């Protein structure tokens, strides 16, 4: 029993050293492609930010989307962190465009900076500032899509 566990551990170590021997420059473990990162990491987080500012008109009248509880603000904070760090994710080697990556890097870094402004707005519970950064965030998404994802909105 103990022998099997030790054996399994040794096999795991072997696997780790084999992976390192592969000569990867960075210890990154690609999980998904760009489509996955957009669809399952970035887009849902951006949606939470956009869904937490401004007003919507419902059958019951105008409804302010600004969070009203600490829990509600924490939800936006979480999403702003996801967007901020997603800018770094987009700079991982396997997600970088194969050529002409210069503007890509600018867009990704710009997105992180906008998300940091959103974080500041969340910390201040400033719904006007959050609304404004939400607009800036949309512009960064759009700008990168116009260059690198023709056909995506």
Positions that interact with ligand HEC (CB under 6 A): 34-35, 38-39, 42-43, 46, 83, 90, 104, 107-108, 111, 137, 140-141, 144-145, 148-149, 152
- Min CB(51)–ligand HEC separation in Å: 12
Shortest distance (Å) from residue 142 CB to ligand HEC: 8
Query: Contact, 56 vs 50, CB < 8 A?
Result: no
Nearer to ligand HEC, 13 or 149 (CB): 149
Measured over all CA atoms, what is the biggest interatomic distance in the chain, rounded to whole angstroms? 69
Question: Is residue 25 within 8 Å of 93, Cβ to Cβ?
Answer: yes
CA atoms within 13 A on the CB side of 105: 6
Distance of CA 101 to the CA centre of its chain: 19
Complex with ligand HEC: residue 33 or 70, whichever CB lies closer:
33
Cβ nearer to ligand HEC, comparing 7 with 93: 93
């Amino acid at each position: 029993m103990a022998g099997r566990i030790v054996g399994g551990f040794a096999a795991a170590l072997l696997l780790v050293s084999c992976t390192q021997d592969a000569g990867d420059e960075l210890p990154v473990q690609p999980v998904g492609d760009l489509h996955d990162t957009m669809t399952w990491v970035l887009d849902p987080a951006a949606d939470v930010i956009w869904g937490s500012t401004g007003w919507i008109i419902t059958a019951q009248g105008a409804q302010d989307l600004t969070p009203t509880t600490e829990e509600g603000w924490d939800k936006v904070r979480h999403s702003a962190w996801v967007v901020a760090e997603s800018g770094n994710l987009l700079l991982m080697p396997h997600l970088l465009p194969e050529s002409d990556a210069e503007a890509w890097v600018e867009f990704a870094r710009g997105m992180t900076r906008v998300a940091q402004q959103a974080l500041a707005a969340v910390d201040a519970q400033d719904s006007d500032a959050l609304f404004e950064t939400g607009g800036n965030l949309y512009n960064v998404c759009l700008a990168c899509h116009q260059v690198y994802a023709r056909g995506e909105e």
